[in-house]
Amino acid sequence: MRRFTMLASLLMVLCLQMAAQTWEEVKVGTSTRKTLTYVPKNVEKSPALVISLHGMNQDPEYQQKQTQWNALADTEGFIVTYPLGNNRMWDTGGTGDVKFVEAIMKDMELKHNVDKNRIYLSGFSMGSWLGYHCLETLGDKIAAFGPVSGVDIGKQPKANRKVSIMHIHGTGDDVFKYTGDPSHMAGGYPSIEEYVKKWAAYEGCDASNPQVIRPYPANSTGPKATRTIYNNVNDGVEVTLIAIDGKGHWHSNEANGVHSTKELWAFFKQHQLDQTSTPDPNFQIYLCFGQSNMEGNAAIEAQDKTGVNPRFMAMYTLDNAQAGWTMGLWHTAVPPQARPGTKLSVVDYFGRKMVDNLPEEVKVGTITVAVGGASIDLFDKDKYQAYLNDANTADWLRNYAKEYGGNPYGRLIELAKIAQKKGVIKGILLHQGETNNCDPTWPSKVKKIYNDMLADLGLDAKDVPLLVGELGQKDQNAACWGHNAIIDNIAATIPTAHVVSSKDCPLQSDRLHFTAEGYRMFGKRYADVMLEQLGVIPVENRNYFIRYESHAGANLWDQQAVYTLPKALEKDAKYTLTMKVRTSADCETLGFWPIWNASTNKNQWGGSADVQYLAPYPVEAGEWKTLTWKFTAQFPLDAFQFVFGKYSGTLDIDDLVLVKEGTSENLIANADFSAKHIQGWSANWQGPSYYLANDAYQSTGITQPSVVAQPSQQDDAYYTLQGVRVSHPTSGIFIHKGKKIVMK
């Protein structure tokens, strides 16, 4: 009876939620238009709004079912509304429907206290066409735009504000053709790739060097897709294309691939109209200074110019029309970093490794001001002028300094203040010492410069460490190896300084500069040291595991982690299972129910002869704990259920070992998840969501992000009343799409 009660309660909740969906009238001039609005029960006090525009000859009810925005609104607390086009069409060239969309925005602010800084526009097919058209006059009211399978035919990009756009399109679309339709009766349009690229360029993004992710999502088991990302970090704008292989003219609701609506919402909530006034804590800025090894002195090779993640940005440090440099602007960090004509440096691979190890929402920006051959005095704001005026200072060095306005330190601080409007300075990198070789006063000189930087930028040393790189090593017969003893002791003078080792980084024949490979190695080591200060575990050292996210239910079996064994166990044989578990809160009961999934008896009410109920464990929140079960297989068990239906929080599982008595073979495939996939794992009909995760951070108080999300179930799956997923249901009672059905 409890199972029926639970299902009845679920249906009641669904009915209550549906009652929150109503038709609303909207005045547009002298006419009255309609929009179908869904307000979830848990709506925020000042919620975000999604306006979802239907396609040609469609309607709001159809758009709602196709997009599934309502379900997402329930969990995220925003409002979604579906406008109705006149005659189920949209005016994609005039102002009638643009005014309708604008009127909806105003009405929603009045009726539902919608946050005007978080109004998002999306559309399908002709709805996307109208959406692009709306950007011309409403871009300043739209926080982000999410078109699906549609373009603004016959027009060039135009908007009254730079708006972030996520465009989703199937490569098999035969209506708005992915390959383009130059002869379309409405004016023609290029390929979707070219169309989105044009918008990216128009929005000020670096259109020449996008980030390309394929496959997308990373461990998708559904149709493969490619995500191409263009960034304009100066204005906080992103234009991105998700192209789904073979997808036709339709929304994508793939459980194990691209889910259009979920992708759009994840994108939308990263953008709001008032964001530019506040520095982005996820934009990390690093200041880099020194002499030639920081400036770069090895030839830039093809591998150094390609594959640069657009999340790694560099700021132009001077104006140079010939090179296309405009001081103070950010660009994708393709070398060189310091000045036109400089070469590969440690900065290049510092940034690369940083973005490879930080969450996707984090960007890294570097500002490099360095002068080859310079003494540390060039960066002392009280001494630089005397140094440049000194008769012993070479003319070529003075000329390099002139490119920075004659004051490299001043230029670095000037640009750092510009950067602080967009992001947060997290560290300072120094490589210098050859000109000050073995100078015992060098640490105190560096300390003054470091303290001046902190003071001039309003920074605290504990939040902004100084990373100091060694020079070439003694065993390399380096010209200035003796200075390393001074560098290695820098923490005695500057407690927040950290040394970066140059050991085994190859040198050029001049014994002063590193080779290209040396800079690559050295730059990654700078990143290793900085990541350590941030508490970040490098990707190559991370432990992978599976994570389940659970909401407490009425019964223990409401939430289950399910593992299908590669081979069924032997009936009457003895086994031992050990595994590590970790919970985010105290879990009163974690049960282990091995089952015989192939049994024909598992659909009976009570007394099933296919499940073993082994002793449960309580699990306290905190560190990993090892659980052990010893059991005799009563059936040819072929699946494991770990049940925790009364628990709310995350459950992590790792390092499973299942052995038959008298043997040593582990019967669990990918037991430590080192293969970086979760094949064989699933969940029961209730959920919970699950995904491959890792420990990305040390115990620093930083929230540990999950790496790759993977939905827990497929839309068409069947489940027994015990929550067991069935591939080929025969006779009995099953749960299908949240409903109880009888198979005869």
pLDDT at 610 over 90: no
Across 232-236, average pLDDT: 82
- For residues 366 and 288, give the distance between their C-alpha atoms in angstroms, rounded to a whole number: 7
Per-residue pLDDT tens digits for 202-217: 998 888 888 888 889 8
Residue pair 256/131 in contact (Cβ under 8 Å)? The answer is: no
Residue whose structure tokens are 């940034």: 351
pLDDT at 728 over 60: no
Helix 96-112 × helix 126-138 angle, to 10°: 80
The H-or-E segment that residue 425 falls in is: strand 424-431
Which has the closest alpha carbon to 722: 599, 617, 627?
599
More confident residue, 605 or 284: 284
CA distances, 619 to each of 493, 581, 587, 623 (Å)? 47, 8, 5, 10
**pLDDT category, 50, cuts 50, 70, 90?**
very high
pLDDT at 287 over 80: yes
**197: which DSSP letter?**
H
In one-letter notation, the amino acid at residue 411 is R
Lowest mean pLDDT among 2-6, 333-337, 340-344, 351-355: 2-6
Q: What is the pLDDT of residue 718?
A: 53
pLDDT above 70: percentage of residues in the chain: 90
Q: What is the pLDDT of residue 723?
A: 43
Across 270-296, average pLDDT: 87
- Rg of the chain over Cα atoms, rounded to whole angstroms, equals 30
Q: What is the pLDDT of residue 681?
A: 96
Q: What is the pLDDT of residue 277?
A: 56
Per-residue pLDDT tens digits for 523-574: 999 999 999 999 999 988 999 999 999 989 889 989 999 999 999 999 999 9
**pLDDT category, 741, cuts 50, 70, 90?**
low
In one-letter notation, the amino acid at residue 614 is L
Which has the closest alpha carbon to 708: 675, 734, 735, 733?
675
Dihedral sign for Cα 369, 375, 379, 381, please.
Answer: negative
- For residues 699 and 535, give the distance between their C-alpha atoms in angstroms, rounded to a whole number: 7
The H-or-E segment that residue 26 falls in is: strand 21-28
Residue pair 388/378 in contact (Cβ under 8 Å)? The answer is: yes
- For residues 19 and 17, give the distance between their C-alpha atoms in angstroms, rounded to a whole number: 5
pLDDT at 5 over 50: no
- For residues 478 and 508, give the distance between their C-alpha atoms in angstroms, rounded to a whole number: 10
Maximum separation of any 2 CA atoms in the chain, in Å: 99
Across 453-472, average pLDDT: 97
Q: What is the pLDDT of residue 49?
A: 97
Q: What is the pLDDT of residue 229?
A: 94
Across 510-524, average pLDDT: 97
Q: What is the pLDDT of residue 299?
A: 96
Q: What is the pLDDT of residue 298?
A: 96
Q: What is the pLDDT of residue 456?
A: 97
Q: What is the pTM of this model?
A: 0.64
Per-residue pLDDT tens digits for 237-258: 999 999 999 999 988 988 778 9
- For residues 619 and 608, give the distance between their C-alpha atoms in angstroms, rounded to a whole number: 28
Q: How many CA atoms lie within 13 A of 517 on its CB side?
A: 6
Per-residue pLDDT tens digits for 426-460: 999 999 999 999 999 999 999 999 999 999 999 99
pLDDT at 133 over 90: yes
Lowest mean pLDDT among 1-15, 80-94, 607-621: 1-15
- For residues 562 and 651, give the distance between their C-alpha atoms in angstroms, rounded to a whole number: 13
Helix ranges restricted to H, 115-238: 126-138, 192-202
- For residues 510 and 372, give the distance between their C-alpha atoms in angstroms, rounded to a whole number: 14
Per-residue pLDDT tens digits for 667-713: 999 999 999 999 999 998 877 999 999 888 875 444 443 333 333 33
The H-or-E segment that residue 420 falls in is: helix 408-420
What value does the mean pLDDT of the chain take?
88
Q: What is the pLDDT of residue 221?
A: 75
Q: What is the pLDDT of residue 329?
A: 84
Q: What is the pLDDT of residue 602?
A: 65
The H-or-E segment that residue 428 falls in is: strand 424-431
**492: which DSSP letter?**
G
Residue whose structure tokens are 């009127």: 103
Q: What is the pLDDT of residue 311?
A: 87
**pLDDT category, 172, cuts 50, 70, 90?**
very high
CA distances, 664 to each of 543, 593, 657, 668, 675 (Å)? 24, 23, 10, 12, 21
> Partners of 253 in the beta sheet?
259
Across 106-123, average pLDDT: 91
- For residues 98 and 138, give the distance between their C-alpha atoms in angstroms, rounded to a whole number: 8
**Phi, psi angle pair for 204, to nearest 5°:** 85, 15
Residues 6+ apart with CB under 8 A from 568: 596, 598, 636, 637, 638
Across 79-91, average pLDDT: 95
Q: What is the pLDDT of residue 717?
A: 53
Residues 6+ apart with CB under 8 A from 158: 135, 136, 202
Residue pair 338/258 in contact (Cβ under 8 Å)? The answer is: no
pLDDT at 16 over 60: no
